[in-house]
Amino acid sequence: MSNSTIDEHLQLVTFLVGDHYLGIPLQGVQEINRNLTLTPVPNSSPIVSGVLNLRGEVVTVLDLKMMVFGEPTEIGENTRNIVVNVQGERVGVLVDRIVDVVSVDHSDLDDLPPNLEKSGRQFFQGVFQTERGLLTMFEIDEAVRESEGFEVG
């Protein structure tokens, strides 16, 4: 298998945030867990759900729904915490439900429609047409870096 073939083939962790079907590259995910025992952080940004102790490391957990769509996540039995590494720092993000890991070809990534609002658009790279529906490629690193009230690195 050539390197160009490997680069074009992506595995995405897919999840729901509200009704939005999103995916992030699997290689950027350190773990997915149900650990939602969060300690609130006083006077923090609304996007910070809290912190948790993850095997001796304190990890900040962000509310992805609040970051992108302006609504808080309602924690339920399907809510999960996806732990990613952003600029050398482990960060958790809450999602409503993990769907699956899917394989896609990068060449099948379609551009976002030009009529989408510009605010928040930088968090989305494009869409894939899948059997389940349109899957939006989410730029988790960009979303975390650009979040108001939260800094990495």
Name the 3-class secondary structure at 70: coil
pLDDT at 152: 58
60-96: pLDDT as tens digits: 999 999 988 889 999 999 999 999 998 888 999 999 9
In words, the CATH class of domain 3-146 is mainly beta
Average pLDDT, the chain: 86
Of all residues in the chain, what percent carry a pLDDT higher than 70? 87
Q: Predicted confidence band at 35 (pLDDT cuts at 50, 70, 90)?
A: confident
Cα–Cα distances in Å, from 66 out to 55, 76, 94, 148?
26, 16, 10, 11
Q: Model confidence at 7, in pLDDT bands (50, 70, 90)? A: low
Please state the domain extents for the chain: 3-146
